[in-house]
Amino acid sequence: MSNTESNKATSVEEAEKIIPRAEFRVFGQGIIDIVGLSMWKAQAKLFKIRQSKEVYILSRHTNEANVKIRDGLLDIKTKVGETAEGYEIFQPRGKFEFPVKKDELAIIFDNLLAPITPDKPTYSFEEFLDLVNSHPDLSAVDVEKERYGFSVDGVICEYAEVLFNGALLETACAESEDYSAMKEVINKLEITDFENTSYLIAAKRVVKI
């Protein structure tokens, strides 16, 4: 795995300076058909298609630590709140390059509520996964995404096909720092009747952790 120009390593200190966005995301079947029609009525502006292969790390004990590996980076965000509408807000906490340092792994496992104390100075991708797979309350999930990005009224949106360990789901989301604008866009995309569900919850339902 190697990082790309658009996905770069970020220190804990740099991540703390990033203003978090709120996100409303839905999963299910038939979502792409709904959004595919409504986005044009909402005069969407298209971005490029993105494909990725990722690994999500799930913990039985929390849904507030979003930990994933993408482009050779170990990426963590933690939930810091919700808007009045129930949109989740996740704050970036860092993107760490492999081999990952011992103190960076300590941050990961502390937020996953997994009592693992790394004893080596650094860990490779394979060594990190060995730690995860050896812990009874953690699970690594292979996730493949084909994402179609667009914006409506300045709000970032997407719809996508997602495979969780080979199980196919459709998803759509809107995210922004402007919560009132988000609410308007979600209405325009006609996805308000779907449950607001994070990647963590969707993955857990598929793999039953």
* Amino acid symbol at 127: E
> What domain count does the chain have?
1
Q: Which residue has the tokens 């730690």?
A: 131
Q: Is residue 125 part of a domain?
A: yes
pLDDT at residue 3, rounded to an integer: 43
Q: pTM of the entire structure?
A: 0.91
In a domain, 24, yes or no: yes
Range(s) of the domain holding residue 159: 12-207
Counted residue by residue, the chain has a size of: 209
Answer whether residue 2 is part of any domain: no
In a domain, 164, yes or no: yes
Residue 97 domain flag: yes
How much of the chain exceeds pLDDT 70, in percent? Answer: 97
CATH number of the domain to which 92 belongs: 2.40.320.10
CA distance 181 to 188: 11
The mean per-residue pLDDT over the stretch 174-187 comes to 95
Residue 1 covered by a domain: no
CA 107, CA 75: separation in Å to the nearest integer?
Answer: 11
Q: Is 33 exposed, middle or buried (0-12, 13-18, 19+ CB in 10 A)?
A: exposed
Residue 7 lies in a domain: no
Residue 42 lies in a domain: yes
